[in-house]
Structure 1
Amino acid sequence: MEKENNIIKRYRFLEKIELTKHDIIARGGERDCYIHPLDSTKVIKIMYETNGIMAYNGARNDIEYKYFKFLEKSNTPFSHITKCYGFVETNVGKGLVFDKVYDYNGQTSTSFLDILMQKKLTKKKENNMILELKEYIFENNILFIDYGLDNILCCQYEKDNYKLIIIDGLGSKRNGFKLWLYLNSKIYTKYKIITQWKKLLRLIERVKIER
């Protein structure tokens, strides 16, 4: 814990970080994901504009940060989600720092969507990973709102041993009353978790049929 706190403090006091287009490793519907130029084990998520407008009024990083602080306060384990280290200033805007997910051999982990589409693992391993993720989500009341399969990476943490790690889509899409409910009402949160999990399972089954 002390080591993690020191990392968070170090990022908070860094001077403005210079990013280029070459640092972008992924683009989502509302944010660009950059490899951290000073620490290759981290990524920086930064909102971008489309036709001069940011999705959700540019609040996605603030919402996610608030949710991750809530998880930290609740002593939630980060075994199946990436850890958040707070904000940094960059030349392209304020960004949120997260762990980058690697396999045991140093290679960037593959999205679960690609794993399913390319049938890289046996059905038994797929099902075991899904069950393990379900247990983690339900035991720790994790809100996986944007349940796209490209928001989940399949990490080979040891040779022939895999687990699913959620890298995006946690918390709420918008600030407001729903986010307040997620953070304060266990009943409503549990209902939403069950609803989103059912949607995720339907998506997984649809991908399996189409592959």
Structure 2
Amino acid sequence: MDVRRAGGRYRGGDPAAGVETRHAFSFGPHYDPDNLRFGALIACNEERLAPGAGFDEHPHSHTELVTWVVEGELTHRDSRGHGTLVRPGDVQRLSAAAGVRHVERNDGAGPLTFVQMWLAPLDPGGDPVYEVVRGIADATPYAVPEAGAMLHVRRLVAGERTALPDAPRLYVHVVRGTVRLGPHELGPGDAVRAADEKGHELSAAGGPAEVLVWELSA
């Protein structure tokens, strides 16, 4: 079980333009050959966009992009004609497949914070796919079969416990609050990478918490 703290993330983005990014994996100029991926997961970026800031149109291919908004509203447009406002509680997925371009912006009056996770597909190519699940219920799994992965969103009240799935690999990312996993206390931005671990539980410590858990097939 590998614990990665929020303070150890790579700093990126363009703060002068209102974009602050914290990368969990090797990304762009922050190259680390020992931190390229964990199973299918190749990126877990915490993004903070000031009002009016964002990412101009840029391409993706052969990647599954899953976005979780923490605060504010994310304006998303892509080259396939989709235009969406993504809000807290929504799961957005863009399957880039053979290639797609998109824009991500904060067109609201307040700050925007979101977590974007990239997964490598089992088979490259195909046609791009876009979807948004509005207000996903607690503990409702969201499948990304193209990457052999399943996302579990857990919102815990103080003292609540939840079992983690038994899987070849688990990636746990704390969105808000404080949780305990075995002997480890984890806060916002902290993550755990677990391989071949079974029978573990998360518990909220001292208040409500929100956690993203990826169940990875390999």
**TM-score, structure 1 normalization:** 0.27
Structure with the largest fraction of helix: 1
**TM-score, structure 2 normalization:** 0.27
Structure with the largest fraction of strand: 2
